[in-house]
Structure 1
Amino acid sequence: MNVTSLFSLTSPAVKRLLGWKQGDEEEKWAEKAVDVLVKKLKKKKGAMEELEKALSCPGQPSNCVTIPCSLDGRLQVSHRKGLPHVIYCRVWRWPDLQSRHELKPLDCCEFPFSSKQKEVCINPYHYKRVESP
């Protein structure tokens, strides 16, 4: 099986979520990041639907969409490690986002990365962008 046919096996859920992708974030990396997320969200009842609702209705109130936090707080996607909320804010809102210091959680977010809980919210509409310090 060649590489091209591997990527044509992208699940419908991943394809749907990639429809909201912003910018030209490395296509294959973004696809892999969303694939990793879909696998985690499928284990939680209603999580996929909640994320799709948030992405399709920006500006409307939405619930936290959480994934388990790893020991160091980072998520490995392909050969790159990053903070989950930064990865998904980059995929769906700000392709030029550089670091977590450019993000601030909104008051409605119950599981922001900064709270150091067992779960972290990756809903890109639960964060706002701020100037880097």
Structure 2
Amino acid sequence: MNRQKLLQKTVNPIDIKRFDCVDLVEAMGQMSFQARNLSRAAQIYDRMIQDTDCNIILCLAGFLFSAGLKEIVYDLIANNMVDVIVSTGANIVDQDFFEALGFRHYLGDPLANDELLRQQQIDRIYDTFIYR
């Protein structure tokens, strides 16, 4: 398999401004497990935003930008919904910096042959490929 076949579909970020998920997240408050925790977290976050004396620290770890979540972080910053960001280097260097240089993240396969990817000079982050 060649590079062109492996790099067919780019990771496309979600645009949270295109829909309103408030009702969905509130309804999750009547569900179990992590659905209820997500609803509870959203309520706490809403109270934090309303409290002008509260500083909101967003901690980023893992492969968030390569997964397509960079635009959400951008929107949080642009709308003054976070005050401080603490991030691992992977989000900043290995993902955001490469995209700033014009590289893209592609939908991949977690079971891809790593030797084949190496031969094609493609890096893999679980099920995401990046070609530099």
Q: Please give the TM-score of this superposition, normalised by the length of structure 1.
A: 0.30
Tell me which protein shows more helix as a share of its residues: 2
Q: Which has the larger radius of gyration?
A: 2
Q: Please give the TM-score of this superposition, normalised by the length of structure 2.
A: 0.30
